[in-house]
Amino acid sequence: MSSRAFSKTIPLRKPISPALRRYVYFFGGGKADGNKDMKAELGGKGAGLAEMTNAGLPVPPGFTIQTEACREYMRNGGKLSPEVDRQMREALSRLEAMEGRKLGAGDNPLLVSVRSGAQASMPGMMDTILNLGLNDSSVEALARRGNNPRFAYDSYRRLIHMFGDIVLEVPKRKFDDAFEQQKKRSGVQLDTDLDTKALKQIVEEYKKIVRQHTGKDFPQSPLEQLSMARDAVFRSWNNERARHYRRMNQISDDMGTAASVQCMVFGNLGETSGTGVGFTRNPSTGAKEFYGEYLMNAQGEDVVAGIRTPLPISELDRTMPGIYQQLREITSRLEKHYRDMQDFEFTVMEGRLYMLQTRNGKRAGRAAVRIALDMVEEGLITKEEAIFRVEPNQLYEFLLPRLDETDAKVHELTRGLPASPGAAVGQIIFTADDAVKKVNGSKKSSVILVRSETTPEDIHGMEVAAGILTSRGGMTSHAAVVTRGMGKCCVAGAGEIHVDEKLREIRVRNHVLREGDWISLDGSTGRVLKGKLNTVPASPDDPELKEFLSWAEPFRTMKVRANADIPRDAVQALAFGAEGIGLCRTEHMFFAEDRIAHMRAMILATSEAERRKALRKLLPMQRSDFVGIFRAMAGLPVTIRLLDPPLHEFLPRREDLMVEVALLEKTNPRSPKLAERRNLLARVEELHEFNPMMGHRGCRLGITYPEISEMQARAIFEAAVAVAKEKIRVSPEVMIPLIGGPKEMANQKKIVQQVAEEVFKAEKLRVPYMVGCMIELPRAALIADDIAGVAEFFSFGTNDLTQLTYGFSRDDINRFLPSYVERGSVKQDPFGALDRKGVGRLVRMATELGRQAKPTLKVGVCGEHGGEPSSIEFFYSVGLDYVSCSPFRVLTARLAAAQAAAKEKLGYEGGRTK
Amino acid sequence: MSSRAFSKTIPLRKPISPALRRYVYFFGGGKADGNKDMKAELGGKGAGLAEMTNAGLPVPPGFTIQTEACREYMRNGGKLSPEVDRQMREALSRLEAMEGRKLGAGDNPLLVSVRSGAQASMPGMMDTILNLGLNDSSVEALARRGNNPRFAYDSYRRLIHMFGDIVLEVPKRKFDDAFEQQKKRSGVQLDTDLDTKALKQIVEEYKKIVRQHTGKDFPQSPLEQLSMARDAVFRSWNNERARHYRRMNQISDDMGTAASVQCMVFGNLGETSGTGVGFTRNPSTGAKEFYGEYLMNAQGEDVVAGIRTPLPISELDRTMPGIYQQLREITSRLEKHYRDMQDFEFTVMEGRLYMLQTRNGKRAGRAAVRIALDMVEEGLITKEEAIFRVEPNQLYEFLLPRLDETDAKVHELTRGLPASPGAAVGQIIFTADDAVKKVNGSKKSSVILVRSETTPEDIHGMEVAAGILTSRGGMTSHAAVVTRGMGKCCVAGAGEIHVDEKLREIRVRNHVLREGDWISLDGSTGRVLKGKLNTVPASPDDPELKEFLSWAEPFRTMKVRANADIPRDAVQALAFGAEGIGLCRTEHMFFAEDRIAHMRAMILATSEAERRKALRKLLPMQRSDFVGIFRAMAGLPVTIRLLDPPLHEFLPRREDLMVEVALLEKTNPRSPKLAERRNLLARVEELHEFNPMMGHRGCRLGITYPEISEMQARAIFEAAVAVAKEKIRVSPEVMIPLIGGPKEMANQKKIVQQVAEEVFKAEKLRVPYMVGCMIELPRAALIADDIAGVAEFFSFGTNDLTQLTYGFSRDDINRFLPSYVERGSVKQDPFGALDRKGVGRLVRMATELGRQAKPTLKVGVCGEHGGEPSSIEFFYSVGLDYVSCSPFRVLTARLAAAQAAAKEKLGYEGGRTK
């Protein structure tokens, strides 16, 4: 095969008048009308078939009816122009001439498949018809020719079944029932045990079903079959699961599918026939080894169905060494041609090899890195291209243990949202206290904390648990956000699970699991598995990862920081390459067991003096946290956010207190506890808010109770000075949350500056610092120029900004967002990838306004989006100075930021095909 | 007096180099350096004194130190340039020469007052010193000269008291205590009963206090007194109450005050002296009558203090007819000069009249209209000017009854927020059910519903109550919003009141009021009064109002609609001049007693079929409401908003159910009610949201449950067609709430259109209609161009838009907003007047983007801001087609919209001075 073969393109891509439009593209005999660049017209499959044909591969010939025909079909209410039919018949004639056979006629009838294939990959979403061309007479010819009537009738019944279901819209169940009845009548278990007679009876039964259901006979004209099948494939573009899939993957509804008509080849014509799938490299490890499996005397669907166990492809070398060699040679040529690892399908028909499909293969994260490195070494791709061969999210894998799926019989109970990746294996436990007790009792114990949803009060339990499972809440629920921050495995919102904390059991479908039962979580897929599976540990220091990153990183211009609240997280973030802390949430420090009492005392205080007293208790604790973080970061910037959540989050739940008080009133009205609980309830009532997300929180607390901001600023600067005295550089950035205007900012900045000066004076040492703010209220973005006048940096809190811009409460969003995304009312979960159009507009506006007012303004982002690749690309385009994300997303963010910059600099994505 | 006198101006307004700057402006002898246009430099008082002097009025002479001196004083940390002192001494010399007396010296010592006065009126907020120039020797001279030692020593002790308090910052209490002790020692009750000896003792006592507190003697040097008093007046610009007042009234902190030094005149020199205040017309009724009161032998503060009862000014004609005539002549000249009703202060000293102050008088709403009409008739002002002589909010008065304050001894219990104006008198009642029971029991009864806060479940009680009083909630709380909509008096958030619903009593300070006790509310001022006061009824058909509006209305280009949910409100709105319904909230219809059961059934339904069944029950009820509204509006546009609030608002409160279930579990675990309550609680839990404002509401309901939108659309179109068949024109505009993007809009629009077509087909009649949406999410504003592609109109929901832009929950905002506004972190309550900078930017952006995409797009506003004058002015500037507000604000909105347009067209505000 010469490389020229790949450059034969037919430049026929601009729209032409309908009558002259080319609807049908032929492929076969080493030549194709299309090529790999024509995915828009021919779909991925059609373009691939054309390309493979051009490359001289043994591809069964055929033709592709292009997507424009599908679009016309949809536009015109299910009608096609006669021109499409004319071109299709012409192509069919050419195919028949090339093969020397007639569609569904003659002694050696030509059979074809009709397959869907869109520009974007939508695996299994649309329909396909096989064995087309069979009818009452051609089935006999087929039987005679191969001397295999069983095969012929089996093919025929498959055609009627598929055609009946997809084209004629006969309920599939009818065919299945008839088939099962026949098996019963014949007294067999397996489909393959049915003999020719039984299959003939099934064919008759099927034809009867078609007649009953449609009022017409199963079409005997092969051409009619072909036209009908083509139309059905076009219609399948709009079937429910295809629409759903497009929504999920942001694929436009307007593109349509192509329909590829191709000569059938059979892998089930006896012991010299077979079928298989494979990869040019190991998709799990990336090892350069021919990898795959096959079945002799079988059709493709048999491999997938799992009734027979396929053989490893190396066996083929033994049984059909010539075919094996040819396959290896072809696939290695394919890999060189596409310059990427290939995922291919092949069929051997009576000793002859046919290639049915090839495409760039999906691979795991580790494999992606290894393949990229190997291919550079092999000279197949450049280092620049290699950068794009790994999806940023795939780097996650290096940081997390995995379930060892080979280890045990994997029994999937249910699936939830893959809220925080990794694997966790442990015993079920229902409360945070029990989790702590259990783990303290035996350091070897491993628990999975199972809750309907978690709250900040569960933190201590979440910290000791191996993993978290919740039945409610979405990708941005408390459980999800906190565990991602901890780098701990979490499956959230597993709606099928009913958590009964009273009975201490969970029910899921027919299973009941009790406290102490073992389960395993796969946080990367959301799977919940029964039993105690083995795990494989993480490998963040992987030398291959390091080499790969050494190519990508030089392109990166945007800094990557981590969100870390405690010294341990800071150390970890640094190990993953974080260039600072972009968000240190001080409130998480207050939930610790030894602190919450003081926090509550502060909240329940009725005077400033009392409040200050409680704050003085918290000061040394908070200071020591900051000391740890400053030491760990050794001069890298550390952005510390002042207290943000509403105060009632630190108190018991209002409704629990109400119930407690009501019960005490009824049962023990003189109990001294009643008075105490009533008092507490009164304060909780005072703090109660209908919409706490929009309530008395953020800088609003610091403005109402300046002594809180003062204490926090004091803890920060005393810690900074203490560390500086150890000759370690420090670079604190004090961040004020929930700023809505310049006066709020000025108010809090003044407090911070005053405290800083006091501390510097008292300690006789100054350290450099900055005071800036979160941009998380739409108003802050809208008047960012005013705010930039008093703020030294901005950090976008894109979670809250998204909540307020959409009017979505992320605590509640699971009520309707899933059905919303499904119905297409919202394109995708805006808490996953940043909404560029709405929220992004505010981000861009605020950045521009802020820098107009203050050109030196440092601007970053510390919301969840800071670790999401497509959002990172957007932030790069806006010109942010840094993104900050959870430590476990730092690697991902580094690569995403590098890719964004490289893409702009190189002007390409290194030929990456998705 | 010639009119030329008023045009003598000294054009010295541009800044000049400090040394050459004119700091001091003299007035006296019929000539002044300044004039009325120099308020920025001389303050309102200084400019007024200059103007009056120029007008040839008998004004005590003096000079004004301009505001720039105050600004320098603040900038330079309490220092003034020597130039200020030099100019002041020069002016003092001129004054002494003119008077032929010396400050605080000689046989006839000159005494002066030093008064503050800023550009914007800040009545009583800053400090004033009287009797300056008295010392141990001049007090004797003064005593000798008037042969009135008592007067002299009384003046001296007043000076030391005022000077000690304001200038030397001696605690006021010290002087008060000493004074009371002296009264005790002398055995007298009234200040005026103290004799000379006692006053002398007080002076000595006071001087001792000064010495003790400051370590220095009371300054005996008159010039030193003057400099110190001047500086204290400058400092008083930044005292706490002045800063607070500026915040409340949006006055800049940077302007500073002027200090006017003026010869003292005394009204307390015997029976030929006196002092008084007056208006050139009656400020309550507007009648053209000389109106005021005075006291003989008294100082100004005696009139205000209320120790002696002043006499009506007509009495002066009897006692001092010459003075009376002179005063009438002067004030009528003043009114003609200022071309507005004047509020003046005068003093008669030993038979000679002095004018101390004159300014445009504040007046009530009715009076404002009458005065404007009269002045046009008198040829004093033009009709165009008259338009601006009435504040839009003042028109309210015509629509509401008032308390008759003369009727009874007014006893103010406390004050809350003036949430909804008017007057209400009734008996206290604590629950909505009791209110209904009581009013149903006796139609004559009048009740005030008193609640800590109201909820939608209280609606039936609010409807029958004469007025509403709440102890919690702000200007936009449920009680406030609903009552404003009803045009019913409401005092909200009266924080001093403790409502004890169990004991059925309210406690406020030392008072306890019980169910059945009479109270009176003044919703225009927020006063809560004890007892049963009389009221004066409303007068919306006032012929004077009509004539006034006939001048203003032709300027108006922006339409004014009303928010009305039921036919009765629509009828009322129309009577007030509404040009359509801008917001008909359909959910309020569901809270009615006969409907809520069906609504609950709909919510509790577990299947679409069940839901539809319940909806079918609601359909005819809703339809009949729409019929009533369409009939009332007779072809004017009616914007109907589909269901907006989260469903749990229609169910019992979650926490109440939790308590109920817990108690039943404890006390009666087998009760069948327990199961029922548990089921209900389960559903309420399902619907529970942490932040319902941002939850499953608005179009999100209609998308999840399309059958709700369908039912509502059906009710609308069946009603529209039914009314059209009565030959009454209809113009429904269906409005989709909480739209965040074009797909949501397209989804709901399709449902509405389908139902419309079905109804039109079935009824064989078409009516014109539109489908549009609320713009209340920031995202909707940001991508308004996309949304305009599918919406036929926009209506800004500025309440929610403000909530989300600020991240303020208006249900909770009272927790911190008042202290926020006070501390200056927020300029003003953004739910009162629209925040032009942030929210306004979104409004402008959305209007522009929307009209770019669809030039014919109709754009209006239906939030509370639609009835607020300054917001209306902004909406006019943005080019909105209409504003919509509660019926009781329609008059206000009409005038505000007319003024906004007239201001632009005429290029002036008709010389209105505030």
Most B CBs within 10 A among A700, A739, A751, A823, hence the mutation to make, goes to A700
C-beta separation of B806 from B838 below 8 A? yes
Residue where the block lists tokens 């006893």: B411
Helix axes A196-214, A172-186, angle to 10 degrees: 150
Among A690, A692, A777, select the one facing B806 at the smallest CB separation: A777
Q: Is the pLDDT of residue B465 over 90?
A: yes
Closest CA to B63 of B49, B43, B73: B49
pLDDT-derived band of residue B392, with 50, 70 and 90 as boundaries? very high
Q: How far is CA B22 from CA A876, B12, B15, B41, B790, in A?
A: 57, 8, 9, 10, 63
Range scoring the smallest mean pLDDT among A569-583, A601-615, B550-564, B897-911: B897-911
- Residues of chain A found within 8 Å of residue B658, distances taken between Cβ atoms: 655, 658-659
Separation of alpha carbons B263 and B98, rounded Å: 11
- Give how far B740 is from chain A: nearest CA, Å: 6
Average pLDDT over residues A184-203: 88
What pLDDT is stored for residue B457 in this prediction? Answer: 77
Separation of alpha carbons B720 and A408, rounded Å: 68
Average pLDDT over residues A63-83: 92
User: A841 and B741: CB-CB below 8 Å?
Assistant: no
Q: How far is CA B455 from CA B147, B250, B369, B887, in A?
A: 70, 33, 38, 21
What pLDDT is stored for residue A8 in this prediction? Answer: 38
Separation of alpha carbons A875 and A817, rounded Å: 25
User: A819 and B704: CB-CB below 8 Å?
Assistant: yes
Lookup: tokens for B531:
């007892």
What pLDDT is stored for residue B2 in this prediction? Answer: 39
What pLDDT is stored for residue A485 in this prediction? Answer: 66
What pLDDT is stored for residue A414 in this prediction? Answer: 87
Interface of A with B in 635-654 (CB under 8 A): 654
Among B690, B703, B808, select the one facing A820 at the smallest CB separation: B703
Lookup: tokens for A397:
């894998």
Residue where the block lists tokens 């002179």: B326
Helix (H, G, I), strand (E, B) or coil at B556: coil
Q: What is the pLDDT of residues B418-463, one digit of tens each?
A: 777 788 999 999 999 999 999 888 878 899 999 988 887 788 899 8
What pLDDT is stored for residue A311 in this prediction? Answer: 83
B686, closest residue in chain A (CA to CA): A815
A803 touches chain B (CB under 8 A): yes
Lookup: tokens for B558:
């922006």
Cβ neighbors of B543 (< 8 A, separation 6 or more) are none
- Quick one: how far is CA A505 from the chain centroid? 30
Among A663, A700, A703, select the one facing B663 at the smallest CB separation: A663
Interface of A with B in 693-752 (CB under 8 A): 693-696, 700, 703-704, 738, 740-741, 743-744, 747
B81 phi, psi to nearest 5 deg: -70, 150
Helix/strand/coil percentages in chain B, nearest 5: 50, 15, 35
Q: What is the pLDDT of residues A699-749, one digit of tens each?
A: 999 999 999 999 999 999 999 999 999 999 999 999 999 999 999 999 999
The Cα diameter of chain A in Å comes to 103
A853 touches chain B (CB under 8 A): no
What pLDDT is stored for residue A632 in this prediction? Answer: 96
- Write out the H or E segment, with its range, that includes residue B661: helix B654-667
Separation of alpha carbons A155 and A882, rounded Å: 60
User: B816 and A782: CB-CB below 8 Å?
Assistant: no
More confident residue, B854 or A679: B854
Lookup: tokens for B400:
């509401």
Among B743, B805, B819, select the one facing A824 at the smallest CB separation: B743
B682 touches chain A (CB under 8 A): no
Catalytic residue, from B489, B862, B865, B885: name it.
Answer: B862
Q: Is the pLDDT of residue A5 over 90?
A: no
Most A CBs within 10 A among B806, B843, B849, hence the mutation to make, goes to B806
Lookup: tokens for A23:
């609807």
Residue where the block lists tokens 């295809």: A242
Average pLDDT over residues B294-314: 71
Whether B213 sits among the annotated catalytic residues: the reply is: no
- Quick one: how far is CA A886 from the chain centroid? 17
- Indicate the average pLDDT of chain A: 89
Q: Is the pLDDT of residue A406 over 90?
A: no
What pLDDT is stored for residue A100 in this prediction? Answer: 93
- Residues of chain B found within 8 Å of residue A844, distances taken between Cβ atoms: none
> Parallel, antiparallel, or unpaired for β A518-522 and A527-530?
antiparallel
Q: Which residues, listed in sequence order, are joined to residue B343 by a DSSP beta bridge?
A: B279, B359
C-beta separation of A286 from A370 below 8 A? yes
Q: Is the pLDDT of residue B572 over 60?
A: yes
Range scoring the smallest mean pLDDT among A345-354, B304-313, B366-375, B452-461: B304-313
pLDDT-derived band of residue A911, with 50, 70 and 90 as boundaries? very low
Chain length of chain B: 914
- Write out the H or E segment, with its range, that includes residue A460: helix A459-464
Q: How far is CA B599 from CA B615, B714, B798, in A?
A: 8, 17, 28
Q: How far is CA A721 from CA A630, B395, B848, in A?
A: 10, 63, 52
- Give how far B853 is from chain A: nearest CA, Å: 16
Separation of alpha carbons A317 and A324, rounded Å: 5
Q: Which residues of A have a catalytic role annotated? A: 478, 862
Q: Which residues, listed in sequence order, are joined to residue A397 by a DSSP beta bridge?
A: none
A901 residue type, one letter: A
- Give how far B656 is from chain A: nearest CA, Å: 9
Q: What is the pLDDT of residues B225-269, one digit of tens each?
A: 999 999 999 999 988 778 877 776 667 888 899 999 999 999 988
Helix (H, G, I), strand (E, B) or coil at A821: helix
HSE (side-chain half, CA atoms, 13 Å) at A738? 24
What pLDDT is stored for residue A167 in this prediction? Answer: 94
Separation of alpha carbons A353 and A367, rounded Å: 29
Separation of alpha carbons A730 and A759, rounded Å: 15
Separation of alpha carbons B522 and B531, rounded Å: 13
User: A841 and B783: CB-CB below 8 Å?
Assistant: yes
Q: Tell me the whole-structure pTM to 2 decimals.
A: 0.79
Helix (H, G, I), strand (E, B) or coil at B118: strand
Beta strands in B226-306 (DSSP E): 257-263, 274-279, 291-296
Average pLDDT over residues A586-605: 86
Residue where the block lists tokens 């992987």: A542
What pLDDT is stored for residue A13 in this prediction? Answer: 41
Catalytic residue, from B478, B598, B648, B865: name it.
Answer: B478
What pLDDT is stored for residue A316 in this prediction? Answer: 92
- Give how far A126 is from chain B: nearest CA, Å: 25
User: A807 and B740: CB-CB below 8 Å?
Assistant: yes
Separation of alpha carbons A142 and A139, rounded Å: 5
- Indicate the average pLDDT of chain B: 89
Q: What is the pLDDT of residues A358-388, one digit of tens each?
A: 888 877 788 899 999 999 999 999 999 999 9
Q: Which residues of A49-80 are buried (b: 16+ CB within 10 A; e: fewer)?
A: bbbbbbbebebbbbbbbbbbbbbbbbeeeeeb
Provide the ipTM.
0.78
pLDDT-derived band of residue A308, with 50, 70 and 90 as boundaries? low
C-beta separation of B404 from B536 below 8 A? yes
Q: Is the pLDDT of residue B914 over 60?
A: no
Separation of alpha carbons B397 and A297, rounded Å: 95
Separation of alpha carbons B766 and B731, rounded Å: 11
Based on the number of CB atoms within 10 Å of its own CB, is A306 exposed (0-12), middle (13-18) or buried (19 or more)?
A: exposed
Average pLDDT over residues A598-615: 91
Q: Is the pLDDT of residue A305 over 80?
A: no
B69 touches chain A (CB under 8 A): no
Among B667, B824, B825, select the one facing A666 at the smallest CB separation: B667
Interface of B with A in 765-794 (CB under 8 A): 776-779, 782-783, 786
Average pLDDT over residues B847-866: 96
What pLDDT is stored for residue A303 in this prediction? Answer: 58
A837 touches chain B (CB under 8 A): yes
Q: Is the pLDDT of residue A556 over 80?
A: yes
Separation of alpha carbons B833 and B826, rounded Å: 12
What pLDDT is stored for residue B409 in this prediction? Answer: 62
Q: Is the pLDDT of residue B855 over 70?
A: yes
Q: What is the pLDDT of residues B723-779, one digit of tens each?
A: 999 999 999 999 999 999 999 999 999 999 999 999 999 999 999 999 999 999 999
Helix (H, G, I), strand (E, B) or coil at A301: helix
A498 touches chain B (CB under 8 A): no
More confident residue, A774 or A189: A774
Separation of alpha carbons A88 and A133, rounded Å: 15
- Give, as one character, the DSSP assignment of residue A190: S
Beta strands in B442-485 (DSSP E): 447-451, 467-470
Share of chain B above pLDDT 90, in %: 61
A839 touches chain B (CB under 8 A): yes
- Residues of chain B found within 8 Å of residue A779, distances taken between Cβ atoms: 805-807, 835, 838-839
A800 touches chain B (CB under 8 A): yes
Range scoring the smallest mean pLDDT among A227-231, A652-656, B243-247, B339-343: B243-247
- Give how far B805 is from chain A: nearest CA, Å: 5
- Quick one: how far is CA A732 from the chain centroid? 35
> Parallel, antiparallel, or unpaired for β B535-536 and B559-563?
unpaired
Cβ-based contacts under 8 A for chains A and B: 193
Q: Is the pLDDT of residue A477 over 80?
A: no
What pLDDT is stored for residue A17 in this prediction? Answer: 56
pLDDT-derived band of residue B303, with 50, 70 and 90 as boundaries? low
Other residues' Cβ atoms within 10 Å of the Cβ of residue B271: 10
Q: Is the pLDDT of residue B4 over 50?
A: no
User: B703 and A825: CB-CB below 8 Å?
Assistant: yes
What pLDDT is stored for residue A218 in this prediction? Answer: 96
A419 phi, psi to nearest 5 deg: -75, -40
